[in-house]
Structure 1
Amino acid sequence: MSVVKQSLYYGVGIVMMKGVSLFMMPYVTGHLPTKEYGSLEALILLADIGTILVGFGLIDAMYRFVGSSEGEKRQLLIANCFSLSLIAAVMGGGIVWLIMPWLLLYIPAKVEVYQVVLIAIPTLLDGLIAIPLTLMRMQSLAKWFCIFNVVKAIVQALLIVILLEYGFGIDGVLIAGTVSSILMLVFLLKFQWQQMGRLGYLGYSLPLLKFGGPIVISGIGMFAVTGLDKWILADKVNVEALAVYAVSVKFALILSLLMQPFCLWWFPNRIQILQQENGSQQCAEKAVIGCNLIIIIAFSMLLTVPSFIYLFFPSDYYLVAKVVVGLILVSAIKNISELMNLGCFSGESSQKQMWIQCLCAVIAVMGYYFLIPLYGVWAAVAVLGSVYSMRLALLYCVSQSLEPLPYKHTCWVKTLSLCSVAYLFHSVISATFSPWMVFISGGIISVFTFILLMYLNTFPNLYSQLKGKLTSLIFRHITDFRKV
């Protein structure tokens, strides 16, 4: 299957897997007042930290070890990863039950025991689900990856609609997530068993955990950067502020979502490509292409998302249209740093990245703690922007010291400059437009800018390839017409 076709399947799959909450946002916010939506986000915060801990960093360890193994060793490594994930899920369930009184006391919203259980079940199953899905990506089974995620998303969305219409509120959203995750795991178990053939093997646990451990610590550090802001907002301001900020964050995540077709193909394969002949050059080119994609997607979102919010959301959420502008820029910086970070994953350990994440976490925590009580959501945006900018600089420097890559920075600078000029032009001409006109004109300018960037060869070979295919298609139709 070609890279383009794989990317399309991955795109559909990941949009359905992660995008269901985004697609459902106008509907859900229409059924939940800001206070209830804020309580739902507080529970999701608990799931975020749980996913990091239960994951054990095993997905990144699979990229590193399973991807370069064959035969029986590969099967044993897969069995080892799944067994560790199962152990983590069981232990995690016991720990959640033991600390339930503490959770109910410190979650920054009023929640019930059954609600914590409902959010804990899909969280604990997430690691088990992620392993077979990752194996599908590593084996280029993009079509099956897409099918499983589409079915899960449809089931979850239908359940949300039905339960909200029957007045279940946030309980309906939680039940839908739990049921869809259980069904997903059940249907993935057959494929997983075919890949490993046994359960309970733990012989490779030491190298897997040695590699994954720092990634878990890094993940906790990143939770302090991207999760503690919401926690402090709910605790020090109110859950209504959390609701506005959380919706803004979800819109900003669209950028990451749209980058997933590229990233789902690139991340599992980058180490293998690096080890090929001329691998450094290939990796550098693909990373720059990814950066250009991030810039054009962020630019398009800046032109369209704020007006979309004014058009389709209740007035209680209008502040989102302003906050989301800053968070889209933050998301762009975050995603670029991931692409410029190959060196930290090319060795046997990921400790240097861990230390960078921890440093960012410390600075973020201090900024949130002192500034959010004073300036609310704007403080969270400013702290995030500053921390992610510092993280990008540090990761780039460390990555280049470990694995120097010949990046062509003039390519993404050209893209950024052109998009900046187009954004300023749109801001001036749309000052007196209605929200519908701002939305439509933003879309049109985005398309024309992308076409211009292809013409300027910002995306290497893409313009020439499309031009060649179009010319070939026209020529074939002319030939067929003459035959007739």
Structure 2
Amino acid sequence: MTPKKIAAFTIGPLGAALLGFITLPIITWFFSQEDVGRMSMLQVAIGFSTLFFSLGLDQAYVREFHEVSEKSSLLKVAFLPGLTLLTITLLTVLMFGDALADLLFEIPKKHLSLLGAIALLAAFVSRFLSLVLRMNEQGIAFSMSQVLPKLLMLVVIGAYVLIDAEKSLTNLVIANTSALVFVSVVFAYNTRREWLASVTAPLNIQLLKHMLRFGFPLIIGGIAFWGLTAIDKIFLRTLASFEELGLYSVAVSFAAAATILQSVFSTVWAPTVYKWASKGEGLENVNKVIRYMLALVVLAFCLAGLLSWLVTFFLPPKYTAVQWIVVSCLGFPLLYTLSETTVVGIGISKRSSFAMVAAVLSLAINLLGNWLLIPHFGASGAAATTCFSFWVFFLLRTEFSIYLWKRIPRLLLYSLTLSCVFGATIFTLWGESLSILMAAYWTLLLCYASYAFKSEIRCVVFFLLKKSPVNGATHI
């Protein structure tokens, strides 16, 4: 992918993140902490339904895109089974009236159930149509589709404030659902040629069987991965309160700034690696990418540990604890992104069952940690547990990839990431009483990382200055 196309894909996540930072303070100031927590349960449901009902065919679509000539048939095979199953499931649930709203929000209202069902369906459609833009390298269309729903969300929330509308859960759900529906419509328009062609394309049963064999292990793995990112919220709701869940959700939202890196990198990386594999060239660059990504991850953890107090300027006083929790919340987006660079062997070998095992084992650790820590530490315990669980997830994915593909040097890889996770855990659980010591810890780690990655830093500086460095970094 050319630098111009990479830039086109980058605009969307950057714009969406910036709009998210504008929207989040408005929500925390004008909506109750409990409703913020309840909204996070809708996000949990969206994540689960998208992962489960995709049947692993979304990832199979990405894997097969460069190897299948009939792209319209490929889209139909990937999209239709999950859409049909999800639609039938939602219609069945809606027959029970307010059951969905009661399950998500503990507020049994039929209109909330309907809004929730619409949100789930719109998110699923958006997932597959975004893959079409991504694999066809339509960066501008992809980016606009990322920015517009955030902008709509901001406009709706702003309108609530201007007209002094009731700051209720219903209005908050309406704002979120409207944004999801809007983005699905935009995606549908931008991909109209592809999905219209797929409507008349034959359903290739043999291709479906082939893709299901690749995707089936990803169903279990997908549920396990959903558990890694969502089980903490479920435990908080069960063992703590919606207030703690709201506090945690705000911390996760601030940490989601790191998903800029995750979103941009994942959008570009997977298609690039599979294209390299299909052509049998370019794979020697993987080690370089791993090292640069490791440097970014360590830098992000250190800066977050030193500057997390800044978030208190954007939030009401009741969210003060977010400054300690947010650093551990970075574990998911940062360590997951790093693992995307080290896990390529699983994708290239098409041994997706190994990805499933990594997710399941990490989920087991997450379950145990949340059960032990949340009753004592609340949202802080959930954040620390999830951060460590994602380090285990990263470790397992890396080792399985090495087993299936080829060895990569990993002493620095493991030692630095474990140092970040250790620091984040202590910072989240006891940072308020150890603030001076933690500031020293992050400063020392930042200094060491700057020395360890001096070659990469020099390469970046020369690149920004449009010069060529004398020696590039090639080893981990």
Q: Distance in 1 between matches of 2:48 and 2:417?
A: 36
Aligned to 2:338: 336
Give the match for residue 184 of structure 2: 185
Secondary structure, aligned partner of 1:346: helix
Q: C-alpha displacement at 1:397, in angstroms?
A: 0.9
1:403 Cα deviation from its structure 2 partner: 1.2
C-alpha contact (below 8 Å) 1:262/1:290 kept by paired residues = no
Corresponding residue for residue 324 of structure 2: 322
1:382 to 1:150, Cα distance in 2 relative to 1, 3 A: closer
Alignment deviations for residues 232-273 of structure 1 (CA, whole Å, 9 cap, x no partner): 211221111111111112222221223422331112221222
Cα distance change, pair 227–206 in 1 and its aligned pair in 2 (3 A): same
| Residues matched between the structures, number | 450
Name the counterpart of 2:203.
Answer: 202
Q: Which stretches in structure 1 are left out of the alignment for 5+ residues?
A: 422-426, 433-437, 472-484
Alpha-carbon distance between aligned partners in 1 of 2:169 and 2:329, rounded to the nearest angstrom: 25
Picking from 300, 303, 306, the partner of 1:303 is: 306
Matches within 5 A, 1:330-409: 331-407=333-409
Deviation at 1:6, TM superposition (A): 2.7
Alignment of 1:235-314 (within 5 A): 235-304=238-307, 306-314=308-316
The 1-side partners of 2:258 and 2:142 are apart by 21
* 1:13 aligned counterpart, secondary structure: helix
What does 1:198-237 align with in structure 2 at a 5 Å threshold? 198-199=198-199, 201-203=202-204, 204-237=207-240
Partner residue in 1 for 2:460: 462
Instruction: State the 1:69 CA deviation.
Output: 2.4
Q: Which residue of 2 aligns with 1:482?
A: none
Q: Whole-Å Cα distance in 2 between the matches of residues 411 and 397 of structure 1?
A: 12
TM-score, normalised via structure 2 length:
0.83
Write the letter of the residue equivalent to 2:267: L
Q: Deviations over 1:201-230 (max 9, x none)?
A: 432222222222222221211222221211
Alpha-carbon deviations, 1:141-174, whole Å to 9, x = none?
1112112222232222211221354224332232
Deviation at 1:361, TM superposition (A): 1.8
Instruction: Report which stretch shifted further, 204-213 or 182-191.
Output: 182-191
Amino acid in structure 1 at the alignment position of 2:379: V
Given the superposition, is the C-alpha separation of residues 68 and 296 from structure 1 closer, same or farther in structure 2, using an over 3 Å criterion?
farther
Question: In the alignment, which of 93, 105, 112 is matched to residue 90 of structure 2?
Answer: 93
Tell me which moved more, 309-318 or 362-371.
Answer: 362-371
Is the 8 Å Cα contact of residues 224 and 360 (structure 2) preserved in structure 1? Answer: yes
The 2-side partners of 1:383 and 1:408 are apart by 23
Taking the aligned partners of 1:145 and 1:107, their CA distance within structure 2 comes to 30
Rate the CA distance shift 1:470–1:179 in 2: closer, same or farther, 3 A.
same
CA contact (8 A) 2:335 2:394 kept: yes
Note if contact 2:258-2:334 (Cα within 8 Å) is conserved in structure 1: yes
Partner of 1:424: none
In 2, the alpha carbon distance for the partners of 1:450 and 1:31 equals: 43
**TM-score, with length taken from structure 1:** 0.81
CA contact (8 A) 1:47 1:120 kept: no
Kindly provide the amino acid, as one letter, of the partner of residue 380 in structure 2.
W
1:138 aligns to 2:135 (yes or no): yes
Deviation at 1:449, TM superposition (A): 7.8
How far residue 376 of structure 1 moved from its aligned partner, in angstroms, is: 2.0
Q: Is 1:36 the equivalent of 2:65?
A: no
Distance 1:21 1:468 in 2: 32
Q: Conserved in 2, the CA contact under 8 Å of 1:10 and 1:260?
A: no
- How far off its partner does 1:468 sit? 3.8
| Secondary structure at the counterpart of residue 406 of structure 2 | coil
- Sort the Cα spacing of 1:135 and 1:449 in 2 relative to 1 into closer, same or farther, 3 A: farther
Equivalent position of 1:481 in the other structure: none
Provide the rounded CA distance (Å) in 2 between the counterparts of 1:86 and 1:384: 31
Range 396-405 or range 380-389, more displaced: 380-389
Instruction: Identify which of 157, 164, 185 aligns with 1:160.
Output: 157
Aligned equivalents of 1:68, 1:23: Cα separation in 2: 42
- Assess, with a 3 A threshold, how the Cα gap between structure 1 residues 19 and 340 changes in structure 2: closer, same or farther: farther
2:51 aligned partner: 52
Return the match for 2:120 from 118, 123, 131.
Answer: 123
Contact 2:12 2:143 in 1 (8 A): yes
> 1:96 and 1:338, CA in 2 relative to 1: closer, same or farther beyond 3 A?
farther
Runs of 4+ in 1 over 6 A off after TM superposition: 411-418, 448-455
SS in 2 for 1:457: helix
Alpha-carbon RMSD: 3.6
Deviation at 1:342, TM superposition (A): 1.0
Residue number in structure 2 paired with 1:474: none
Q: CA deviation at 1:47?
A: 2.2
CA distance in structure 1 between the aligned counterparts of 2:305 and 2:9, rounded to whole angstroms: 25
Task: Measure the CA separation in 2 of the matches of 1:55 and 1:150.
Answer: 24
Change (3 A) 1:78 1:270: same
Q: Which amino acid aligns with 1:218?
A: G
Instruction: Note if contact 1:343-1:404 (Cα within 8 Å) is conserved in structure 2.
Output: yes
Instruction: Give me the whole-angstrom Cα distance separating, in 1, the residues matched to 2:371 and 2:449.
Output: 44
Superposition deviation, residue 455 in structure 1? 8.8
1:75–1:468 CA distance, 2 compared to 1 (3 A): same
The share of aligned pairs that are identical, in percent, is 19
Aligned-residue offset at 1:59? 2.4
Distance in 2, Cα, partners of 1:20 & 1:116? 27
Shift of 1:96: 3.0
SS at the partner of 1:202? coil
Rounded to whole Å, the distance in 1 between the matches of 2:337 and 2:82 is 27
Q: Who wins on radius of gyration, i.e. which is larger? A: 1
Cα distance in 2 for partners of 1:47, 1:58 equals 17
- Which whole-Å CA distance do the structure 2 matches of 1:224 and 1:449 have between them? 35
Asked whether the equivalents of residues 215 and 350 of structure 1 are also in contact (C-alpha less than 8 Å), the reply is yes
Cα pair 2:25 2:315 within 8 Å, conserved: yes
C-alpha contact (below 8 Å) 1:368/1:380 kept by paired residues: yes
The alignment partner of 1:56 has SS state of coil
Q: Give unmatched runs, 5+ long, in structure 2.
A: 424-430, 470-476
Which residue pairs with 2:26 in the alignment? 27
